Structure 1
Amino acid sequence: MRTELEVLEKRLKDRFVKAFATYHLINDDDHILVALSGGKDSLCLLELLAKRARIQHPRFAVEAVHVRMENIKYETSTDYLQKFCDELGVKLHVCTTRFEIGDATEANIKKQKQPCFLCSWYRRKKIFDLAQELGCNKIALGHHQDDILHTALMNLFYEGRFGTMPALLQMKKMPLQIIRPLCLIKESDIQRYAELRGYQKQIKLCPFEHESNRTNIKHLYDKVEQMNPETRHSLWNALVREGKLIENS
Protein backbone atom coordinates (compact mmCIF):
# COMPACT_ATOMS: atom_id res chain seq x y z
CA MET A 1 0.00 0.00 0.00
CA ARG A 2 1.38 3.41 -0.95
CA THR A 3 2.24 5.93 1.74
CA GLU A 4 0.59 9.36 2.03
CA LEU A 5 3.79 10.93 0.67
CA GLU A 6 3.80 8.66 -2.40
CA VAL A 7 0.14 9.37 -3.14
CA LEU A 8 0.63 13.11 -2.75
CA GLU A 9 3.83 13.14 -4.81
CA LYS A 10 2.03 11.39 -7.69
CA ARG A 11 -0.82 13.91 -7.55
CA LEU A 12 1.63 16.82 -7.65
CA LYS A 13 3.52 15.30 -10.60
CA ASP A 14 0.30 14.63 -12.52
CA ARG A 15 -0.94 18.21 -12.04
CA PHE A 16 2.49 19.58 -12.89
CA VAL A 17 2.71 17.59 -16.14
CA LYS A 18 -0.86 18.53 -17.06
CA ALA A 19 -0.03 22.21 -16.52
CA PHE A 20 3.01 22.31 -18.79
CA ALA A 21 1.20 20.26 -21.45
CA THR A 22 -1.98 22.37 -21.33
CA TYR A 23 -0.30 25.78 -21.35
CA HIS A 24 2.82 24.81 -23.34
CA LEU A 25 5.12 25.87 -20.50
CA ILE A 26 8.16 23.69 -21.29
CA ASN A 27 9.70 22.77 -24.63
CA ASP A 28 12.83 21.03 -25.89
CA ASP A 29 16.03 23.02 -25.37
CA ASP A 30 14.50 25.39 -22.82
CA HIS A 31 16.89 26.89 -20.28
CA ILE A 32 14.84 27.66 -17.18
CA LEU A 33 15.83 29.85 -14.23
CA VAL A 34 13.82 29.11 -11.08
CA ALA A 35 13.24 31.96 -8.63
CA LEU A 36 14.04 30.19 -5.35
CA SER A 37 12.85 32.23 -2.38
CA GLY A 38 13.18 29.30 0.01
CA GLY A 39 9.48 29.11 0.78
CA LYS A 40 7.53 25.86 0.34
CA ASP A 41 6.21 26.83 -3.10
CA SER A 42 9.55 27.60 -4.74
CA LEU A 43 11.19 24.53 -3.17
CA CYS A 44 8.41 22.31 -4.51
CA LEU A 45 8.66 23.96 -7.93
CA LEU A 46 12.40 23.38 -8.15
CA GLU A 47 12.07 19.76 -7.05
CA LEU A 48 9.38 19.02 -9.65
CA LEU A 49 11.30 20.73 -12.47
CA ALA A 50 14.65 19.16 -11.59
CA LYS A 51 13.21 15.65 -11.39
CA ARG A 52 11.32 16.13 -14.65
CA ALA A 53 14.49 17.35 -16.39
CA ARG A 54 16.10 13.97 -15.67
CA ILE A 55 13.48 12.23 -17.82
CA GLN A 56 14.66 14.26 -20.84
CA HIS A 57 11.21 14.51 -22.39
CA PRO A 58 11.09 17.33 -23.11
CA ARG A 59 14.82 18.11 -22.84
CA PHE A 60 15.49 21.22 -20.77
CA ALA A 61 18.03 22.65 -18.34
CA VAL A 62 17.30 24.09 -14.90
CA GLU A 63 19.20 26.56 -12.73
CA ALA A 64 18.07 28.40 -9.61
CA VAL A 65 18.57 31.89 -8.21
CA HIS A 66 18.08 33.11 -4.65
CA VAL A 67 17.96 36.89 -4.26
CA ARG A 68 18.87 38.38 -0.90
CA MET A 69 17.61 41.85 -0.03
CA GLU A 70 20.57 43.56 1.63
CA ASN A 71 18.58 45.91 3.85
CA ILE A 72 15.55 43.72 4.59
CA LYS A 73 15.96 40.54 6.58
CA TYR A 74 13.73 38.14 4.67
CA GLU A 75 15.94 35.11 4.91
CA THR A 76 16.39 31.47 4.12
CA SER A 77 19.52 29.53 5.03
CA THR A 78 21.83 29.67 2.03
CA ASP A 79 23.49 26.47 3.24
CA TYR A 80 20.11 24.70 3.18
CA LEU A 81 19.28 26.00 -0.30
CA GLN A 82 22.70 24.94 -1.56
CA LYS A 83 22.25 21.44 -0.12
CA PHE A 84 18.74 21.25 -1.59
CA CYS A 85 20.02 22.22 -5.03
CA ASP A 86 23.03 19.91 -4.83
CA GLU A 87 20.78 16.94 -4.11
CA LEU A 88 18.76 17.78 -7.23
CA GLY A 89 21.83 18.45 -9.37
CA VAL A 90 20.84 22.09 -9.92
CA LYS A 91 23.27 25.02 -9.96
CA LEU A 92 22.36 27.74 -7.45
CA HIS A 93 23.14 31.43 -7.94
CA VAL A 94 22.92 33.72 -4.88
CA CYS A 95 22.53 37.42 -5.66
CA THR A 96 22.14 40.49 -3.49
CA THR A 97 20.24 43.71 -4.11
CA ARG A 98 18.68 46.53 -2.09
CA PHE A 99 16.30 49.47 -2.21
CA GLU A 100 15.90 52.61 -0.16
CA ILE A 101 13.03 53.16 2.22
CA GLY A 102 12.10 56.78 2.97
CA ASP A 103 11.20 58.13 6.39
CA ALA A 104 7.93 56.71 7.60
CA THR A 105 6.16 60.05 7.60
CA GLU A 106 2.64 60.41 6.23
CA ALA A 107 3.90 62.61 3.39
CA ASN A 108 6.58 60.13 2.35
CA ILE A 109 4.25 57.15 2.59
CA LYS A 110 1.87 58.86 0.17
CA LYS A 111 4.64 59.74 -2.31
CA GLN A 112 6.74 56.60 -2.36
CA LYS A 113 5.99 53.07 -3.45
CA GLN A 114 5.20 50.60 -0.69
CA PRO A 115 8.14 48.44 0.55
CA CYS A 116 6.49 45.21 -0.71
CA PHE A 117 6.21 46.64 -4.23
CA LEU A 118 9.81 47.90 -4.22
CA CYS A 119 11.19 44.66 -2.79
CA SER A 120 9.37 42.59 -5.42
CA TRP A 121 10.42 44.96 -8.25
CA TYR A 122 14.12 44.90 -7.36
CA ARG A 123 14.13 41.14 -6.83
CA ARG A 124 12.48 40.60 -10.21
CA LYS A 125 14.94 42.97 -11.88
CA LYS A 126 17.86 40.98 -10.47
CA ILE A 127 16.29 37.72 -11.66
CA PHE A 128 15.63 39.10 -15.18
CA ASP A 129 19.20 40.39 -15.46
CA LEU A 130 20.68 37.05 -14.37
CA ALA A 131 18.39 35.08 -16.69
CA GLN A 132 19.61 37.05 -19.71
CA GLU A 133 23.22 36.80 -18.54
CA LEU A 134 22.93 33.00 -18.30
CA GLY A 135 21.13 32.71 -21.64
CA CYS A 136 17.89 31.45 -20.09
CA ASN A 137 14.72 31.81 -22.12
CA LYS A 138 12.29 31.16 -19.27
CA ILE A 139 11.87 32.16 -15.64
CA ALA A 140 9.78 29.86 -13.45
CA LEU A 141 7.87 31.33 -10.51
CA GLY A 142 6.29 29.33 -7.69
CA HIS A 143 2.74 30.70 -7.77
CA HIS A 144 0.16 27.95 -7.25
CA GLN A 145 -3.51 27.84 -8.25
CA ASP A 146 -4.70 29.58 -5.08
CA ASP A 147 -2.36 32.52 -5.78
CA ILE A 148 -3.77 32.85 -9.30
CA LEU A 149 -7.40 32.69 -8.16
CA HIS A 150 -6.88 35.14 -5.30
CA THR A 151 -5.16 37.57 -7.68
CA ALA A 152 -8.13 37.37 -10.05
CA LEU A 153 -10.48 38.34 -7.23
CA MET A 154 -8.19 41.15 -6.07
CA ASN A 155 -8.08 42.62 -9.58
CA LEU A 156 -11.86 42.35 -9.87
CA PHE A 157 -12.72 43.88 -6.50
CA TYR A 158 -9.97 46.49 -6.19
CA GLU A 159 -9.19 47.44 -9.81
CA GLY A 160 -12.43 46.67 -11.64
CA ARG A 161 -10.84 44.33 -14.18
CA PHE A 162 -10.86 40.59 -14.76
CA GLY A 163 -7.33 39.26 -15.02
CA THR A 164 -4.64 37.46 -13.06
CA MET A 165 -1.08 36.15 -13.08
CA PRO A 166 -1.01 33.99 -16.23
CA ALA A 167 0.44 30.51 -16.42
CA LEU A 168 2.48 31.70 -19.40
CA LEU A 169 3.56 35.29 -19.98
CA GLN A 170 5.59 36.31 -23.04
CA MET A 171 7.64 39.43 -22.28
CA LYS A 172 7.68 41.95 -25.13
CA LYS A 173 10.72 43.97 -24.08
CA MET A 174 13.05 41.02 -23.56
CA PRO A 175 13.35 37.48 -24.97
CA LEU A 176 11.94 35.83 -21.88
CA GLN A 177 8.82 33.94 -20.88
CA ILE A 178 7.49 33.80 -17.33
CA ILE A 179 6.01 30.41 -16.49
CA ARG A 180 4.07 29.18 -13.46
CA PRO A 181 4.20 25.36 -13.56
CA LEU A 182 2.35 25.03 -10.21
CA CYS A 183 -0.73 26.72 -11.67
CA LEU A 184 -2.93 23.60 -11.40
CA ILE A 185 -1.75 22.64 -7.89
CA LYS A 186 -3.60 23.55 -4.68
CA GLU A 187 -1.70 25.33 -1.94
CA SER A 188 -2.94 22.79 0.61
CA ASP A 189 -1.26 19.96 -1.32
CA ILE A 190 2.05 21.86 -1.43
CA GLN A 191 1.78 22.64 2.28
CA ARG A 192 1.27 18.99 3.19
CA TYR A 193 4.03 17.84 0.83
CA ALA A 194 6.44 20.32 2.41
CA GLU A 195 5.60 18.90 5.85
CA LEU A 196 6.04 15.30 4.75
CA ARG A 197 9.30 16.06 2.90
CA GLY A 198 10.64 18.07 5.82
CA TYR A 199 11.30 21.31 3.93
CA GLN A 200 13.20 23.73 6.17
CA LYS A 201 11.24 26.88 6.93
CA GLN A 202 12.60 30.36 6.30
CA ILE A 203 14.76 31.76 9.10
CA LYS A 204 12.99 35.09 9.32
CA LEU A 205 9.90 36.41 7.59
CA CYS A 206 9.66 39.88 6.10
CA PRO A 207 9.26 42.66 8.74
CA PHE A 208 6.69 44.34 6.47
CA GLU A 209 4.51 41.24 6.40
CA HIS A 210 1.06 42.08 7.73
CA GLU A 211 -2.64 41.76 7.10
CA SER A 212 -3.28 42.97 3.56
CA ASN A 213 -5.87 43.04 0.81
CA ARG A 214 -4.54 39.65 -0.32
CA THR A 215 -5.12 38.24 3.17
CA ASN A 216 -8.68 39.59 3.17
CA ILE A 217 -9.36 38.11 -0.26
CA LYS A 218 -8.03 34.74 0.90
CA HIS A 219 -10.46 34.77 3.84
CA LEU A 220 -13.31 35.76 1.52
CA TYR A 221 -12.41 33.05 -1.00
CA ASP A 222 -12.33 30.41 1.76
CA LYS A 223 -15.83 31.42 2.88
CA VAL A 224 -17.20 31.30 -0.68
CA GLU A 225 -15.60 27.89 -1.24
CA GLN A 226 -17.32 26.63 1.91
CA MET A 227 -20.66 27.71 0.44
CA ASN A 228 -19.85 26.27 -2.98
CA PRO A 229 -17.11 23.62 -3.26
CA GLU A 230 -17.09 24.14 -7.04
CA THR A 231 -15.89 27.75 -6.70
CA ARG A 232 -12.32 26.84 -7.62
CA HIS A 233 -13.36 25.14 -10.86
CA SER A 234 -15.87 27.85 -11.78
CA LEU A 235 -13.40 30.71 -11.36
CA TRP A 236 -10.62 28.81 -13.12
CA ASN A 237 -12.89 27.97 -16.06
CA ALA A 238 -13.86 31.65 -16.32
CA LEU A 239 -10.17 32.59 -16.58
CA VAL A 240 -9.68 29.92 -19.26
CA ARG A 241 -12.70 31.12 -21.30
CA GLU A 242 -11.49 34.71 -21.20
CA GLY A 243 -7.96 33.73 -22.26
CA LYS A 244 -6.34 35.10 -19.10
CA LEU A 245 -3.87 32.26 -18.52
CA ILE A 246 -1.66 32.87 -21.58
CA GLU A 247 -0.69 36.49 -22.18
CA ASN A 248 1.82 38.87 -23.78
CA SER A 249 3.32 41.74 -21.82
Structure 2
Amino acid sequence: MELSGKTVLLTGGTAGIGREMARQLKEKGAQVILTGRSPDRLAEMEAEGFETIFADLSNAAGVDALLNAWGDRALDILINNAGQLVDHDFRKGSVDPDAADVTIYANLNAPIRLITGLMEQLKARPAAAIVNVTSGLAIAPAARQPVYCATKAGLRFYSLAIREQLKDTNVRVIEALPPVVDTQMNDGNPMKKMPAEECARQIVVAIERDKDEANIGMTKALRVTESISPALARTVTLRF
Protein backbone atom coordinates (compact mmCIF):
# COMPACT_ATOMS: atom_id res chain seq x y z
CA MET A 1 0.00 0.00 0.00
CA GLU A 2 1.22 3.47 -0.85
CA LEU A 3 1.11 5.41 2.43
CA SER A 4 1.30 8.95 1.12
CA GLY A 5 -2.05 10.67 1.41
CA LYS A 6 -3.60 7.91 3.52
CA THR A 7 -5.64 8.71 6.63
CA VAL A 8 -4.58 6.61 9.61
CA LEU A 9 -6.23 6.15 13.00
CA LEU A 10 -3.56 4.86 15.40
CA THR A 11 -4.50 3.90 18.96
CA GLY A 12 -1.88 4.16 21.69
CA GLY A 13 0.16 6.58 19.63
CA THR A 14 1.81 8.73 22.30
CA ALA A 15 4.57 6.38 23.50
CA GLY A 16 6.59 3.31 22.60
CA ILE A 17 5.88 1.49 19.35
CA GLY A 18 2.83 3.64 18.61
CA ARG A 19 4.72 6.92 18.84
CA GLU A 20 7.44 5.63 16.53
CA MET A 21 4.87 4.34 14.04
CA ALA A 22 3.14 7.72 14.06
CA ARG A 23 6.39 9.51 13.25
CA GLN A 24 7.38 7.10 10.50
CA LEU A 25 3.95 7.11 8.88
CA LYS A 26 3.94 10.89 8.92
CA GLU A 27 7.36 10.95 7.24
CA LYS A 28 5.88 8.83 4.45
CA GLY A 29 3.12 11.35 3.85
CA ALA A 30 0.25 9.79 5.80
CA GLN A 31 -2.17 11.87 7.84
CA VAL A 32 -1.97 10.26 11.27
CA ILE A 33 -4.61 10.83 13.92
CA LEU A 34 -3.50 9.20 17.15
CA THR A 35 -5.09 8.42 20.47
CA GLY A 36 -3.80 8.28 24.03
CA ARG A 37 -4.82 8.70 27.66
CA SER A 38 -2.14 11.08 28.92
CA PRO A 39 -2.92 14.79 28.32
CA ASP A 40 0.78 15.64 28.60
CA ARG A 41 1.82 13.05 26.00
CA LEU A 42 -1.02 14.04 23.72
CA ALA A 43 0.18 17.64 23.96
CA GLU A 44 3.73 16.55 23.06
CA MET A 45 2.49 14.80 19.94
CA GLU A 46 0.34 17.80 19.01
CA ALA A 47 3.51 19.90 19.24
CA GLU A 48 5.01 17.58 16.61
CA GLY A 49 2.10 18.38 14.31
CA PHE A 50 -0.18 15.40 14.96
CA GLU A 51 -3.92 15.51 15.39
CA THR A 52 -4.86 13.70 18.59
CA ILE A 53 -7.97 12.33 20.26
CA PHE A 54 -8.14 11.55 23.97
CA ALA A 55 -9.37 7.97 24.32
CA ASP A 56 -9.61 5.57 27.25
CA LEU A 57 -10.09 2.21 25.51
CA SER A 58 -10.46 0.18 28.70
CA ASN A 59 -14.26 0.35 28.60
CA ALA A 60 -17.13 0.52 26.12
CA ALA A 61 -17.91 4.16 26.86
CA GLY A 62 -14.35 5.17 26.00
CA VAL A 63 -14.39 3.28 22.71
CA ASP A 64 -17.78 4.72 21.79
CA ALA A 65 -16.51 8.22 22.58
CA LEU A 66 -13.64 7.66 20.14
CA LEU A 67 -16.03 6.42 17.45
CA ASN A 68 -18.25 9.46 18.01
CA ALA A 69 -15.24 11.77 17.80
CA TRP A 70 -14.22 10.14 14.53
CA GLY A 71 -17.69 10.46 13.09
CA ASP A 72 -18.06 9.82 9.37
CA ARG A 73 -14.52 10.80 8.39
CA ALA A 74 -12.83 8.75 5.69
CA LEU A 75 -10.41 6.12 6.99
CA ASP A 76 -7.77 4.17 5.07
CA ILE A 77 -5.84 2.43 7.85
CA LEU A 78 -6.90 1.47 11.38
CA ILE A 79 -4.00 0.45 13.62
CA ASN A 80 -5.04 -1.21 16.89
CA ASN A 81 -1.84 -0.70 18.86
CA ALA A 82 -3.01 0.39 22.32
CA GLY A 83 -2.50 -2.25 24.97
CA GLN A 84 -2.15 -2.82 28.69
CA LEU A 85 -0.36 -5.20 31.02
CA VAL A 86 -1.77 -6.38 34.34
CA ASP A 87 -0.02 -8.14 37.22
CA HIS A 88 -1.84 -11.48 37.41
CA ASP A 89 0.61 -13.84 39.10
CA PHE A 90 -0.74 -16.16 41.81
CA ARG A 91 2.81 -16.92 42.89
CA LYS A 92 2.90 -13.42 44.35
CA GLY A 93 -0.39 -13.77 46.24
CA SER A 94 -3.97 -12.78 45.43
CA VAL A 95 -4.81 -11.00 42.16
CA ASP A 96 -7.34 -8.30 41.31
CA PRO A 97 -10.03 -9.61 38.92
CA ASP A 98 -11.21 -6.08 38.10
CA ALA A 99 -7.74 -5.20 36.85
CA ALA A 100 -7.88 -8.20 34.57
CA ASP A 101 -11.25 -7.04 33.20
CA VAL A 102 -9.80 -3.66 32.26
CA THR A 103 -6.89 -5.26 30.42
CA ILE A 104 -9.12 -7.74 28.61
CA TYR A 105 -11.31 -4.88 27.40
CA ALA A 106 -8.42 -2.67 26.28
CA ASN A 107 -6.48 -5.43 24.52
CA LEU A 108 -9.29 -7.45 22.94
CA ASN A 109 -12.75 -5.93 23.18
CA ALA A 110 -11.69 -2.44 22.14
CA PRO A 111 -10.03 -3.50 18.85
CA ILE A 112 -13.06 -5.63 17.98
CA ARG A 113 -15.43 -2.75 18.76
CA LEU A 114 -13.35 -0.26 16.74
CA ILE A 115 -13.13 -2.59 13.75
CA THR A 116 -16.87 -3.17 13.89
CA GLY A 117 -17.64 0.53 14.20
CA LEU A 118 -15.31 1.60 11.39
CA MET A 119 -15.75 -1.26 8.92
CA GLU A 120 -18.05 0.62 6.54
CA GLN A 121 -15.62 3.55 6.30
CA LEU A 122 -12.79 1.13 5.54
CA LYS A 123 -14.81 -0.72 2.91
CA ALA A 124 -15.64 2.60 1.24
CA ARG A 125 -11.98 3.27 0.39
CA PRO A 126 -10.25 1.98 -2.76
CA ALA A 127 -7.72 0.14 -0.57
CA ALA A 128 -7.78 -0.12 3.21
CA ALA A 129 -6.05 -1.97 6.02
CA ILE A 130 -6.65 -3.08 9.58
CA VAL A 131 -3.43 -3.57 11.53
CA ASN A 132 -3.75 -5.48 14.79
CA VAL A 133 -0.64 -5.38 16.97
CA THR A 134 -0.57 -8.60 18.97
CA SER A 135 2.64 -10.17 20.35
CA GLY A 136 4.99 -13.09 20.02
CA LEU A 137 3.24 -14.23 23.20
CA ALA A 138 0.08 -14.73 21.15
CA ILE A 139 1.85 -17.82 19.77
CA ALA A 140 3.11 -19.28 23.06
CA PRO A 141 2.45 -17.77 26.52
CA ALA A 142 4.67 -16.50 29.31
CA ALA A 143 3.71 -17.69 32.80
CA ARG A 144 4.03 -14.25 34.37
CA GLN A 145 1.61 -12.57 31.94
CA PRO A 146 -1.40 -14.91 31.53
CA VAL A 147 -4.04 -12.24 30.95
CA TYR A 148 -1.93 -10.29 28.47
CA CYS A 149 -1.09 -13.49 26.57
CA ALA A 150 -4.73 -14.56 26.50
CA THR A 151 -5.88 -11.23 25.09
CA LYS A 152 -3.19 -11.18 22.41
CA ALA A 153 -3.94 -14.76 21.43
CA GLY A 154 -7.60 -13.82 21.19
CA LEU A 155 -6.82 -10.86 18.94
CA ARG A 156 -4.59 -13.09 16.80
CA PHE A 157 -7.38 -15.57 16.18
CA TYR A 158 -9.86 -12.77 15.57
CA SER A 159 -7.47 -11.35 12.97
CA LEU A 160 -7.11 -14.71 11.24
CA ALA A 161 -10.87 -15.18 11.09
CA ILE A 162 -11.82 -11.75 9.76
CA ARG A 163 -8.98 -11.91 7.23
CA GLU A 164 -10.78 -14.89 5.72
CA GLN A 165 -14.08 -13.03 5.84
CA LEU A 166 -12.62 -10.00 4.07
CA LYS A 167 -10.42 -11.79 1.53
CA ASP A 168 -12.59 -10.73 -1.40
CA THR A 169 -12.86 -7.09 -0.30
CA ASN A 170 -10.57 -4.08 -0.44
CA VAL A 171 -9.73 -4.40 3.29
CA ARG A 172 -6.50 -6.18 4.16
CA VAL A 173 -6.03 -7.52 7.70
CA ILE A 174 -2.44 -7.37 8.93
CA GLU A 175 -1.21 -8.83 12.20
CA ALA A 176 2.02 -7.52 13.71
CA LEU A 177 3.70 -9.73 16.32
CA PRO A 178 6.43 -7.82 18.16
CA PRO A 179 9.01 -9.43 20.46
CA VAL A 180 9.96 -7.82 23.77
CA VAL A 181 10.35 -4.14 22.89
CA ASP A 182 12.08 -1.37 24.83
CA THR A 183 8.98 0.48 26.02
CA GLN A 184 7.59 1.65 29.36
CA MET A 185 5.41 -1.48 29.44
CA ASN A 186 8.56 -3.63 29.58
CA ASP A 187 10.56 -1.57 32.08
CA GLY A 188 10.78 -4.48 34.51
CA ASN A 189 11.49 -7.15 31.92
CA PRO A 190 15.12 -8.37 32.10
CA MET A 191 15.11 -9.85 28.58
CA LYS A 192 16.93 -8.24 25.67
CA LYS A 193 14.63 -5.67 24.09
CA MET A 194 14.22 -4.47 20.53
CA PRO A 195 14.28 -0.68 20.07
CA ALA A 196 10.76 0.66 19.55
CA GLU A 197 11.88 2.56 16.45
CA GLU A 198 13.01 -0.66 14.71
CA CYS A 199 9.86 -2.54 15.68
CA ALA A 200 7.75 0.29 14.28
CA ARG A 201 9.80 0.33 11.08
CA GLN A 202 9.10 -3.32 10.45
CA ILE A 203 5.36 -2.85 11.00
CA VAL A 204 5.29 0.08 8.58
CA VAL A 205 7.16 -1.99 5.98
CA ALA A 206 4.58 -4.78 6.40
CA ILE A 207 1.80 -2.28 5.67
CA GLU A 208 3.61 -0.98 2.60
CA ARG A 209 4.19 -4.50 1.30
CA ASP A 210 0.63 -5.68 2.01
CA LYS A 211 1.81 -8.54 4.21
CA ASP A 212 -0.71 -10.58 6.15
CA GLU A 213 1.65 -11.12 9.07
CA ALA A 214 4.73 -9.34 10.38
CA ASN A 215 6.80 -11.56 12.67
CA ILE A 216 9.31 -9.18 14.19
CA GLY A 217 12.69 -9.91 15.71
CA MET A 218 12.76 -12.99 17.92
CA THR A 219 9.14 -13.72 17.04
CA LYS A 220 10.44 -15.11 13.73
CA ALA A 221 12.41 -17.78 15.58
CA LEU A 222 9.45 -18.50 17.85
CA ARG A 223 7.20 -19.00 14.83
CA VAL A 224 9.67 -21.49 13.36
CA THR A 225 9.93 -23.33 16.67
CA GLU A 226 6.14 -23.42 17.05
CA SER A 227 5.71 -24.80 13.55
CA ILE A 228 8.06 -27.69 14.41
CA SER A 229 6.99 -28.30 18.00
CA PRO A 230 4.28 -26.24 19.73
CA ALA A 231 5.21 -27.93 23.01
CA LEU A 232 8.82 -26.78 22.70
CA ALA A 233 7.73 -23.22 21.93
CA ARG A 234 5.55 -23.21 25.05
CA THR A 235 8.37 -24.63 27.15
CA VAL A 236 10.62 -21.77 26.04
CA THR A 237 8.17 -18.92 26.60
CA LEU A 238 6.53 -20.19 29.79
CA ARG A 239 9.80 -19.62 31.66
CA PHE A 240 9.56 -15.89 31.08
Give yes or no for TM over 0.5.
no
Which is greater in Rg? 1
TM-score w.r.t. the length of structure 2 is 0.41
Greater RCO structure (CA 8 Å; 6+ sep): 1
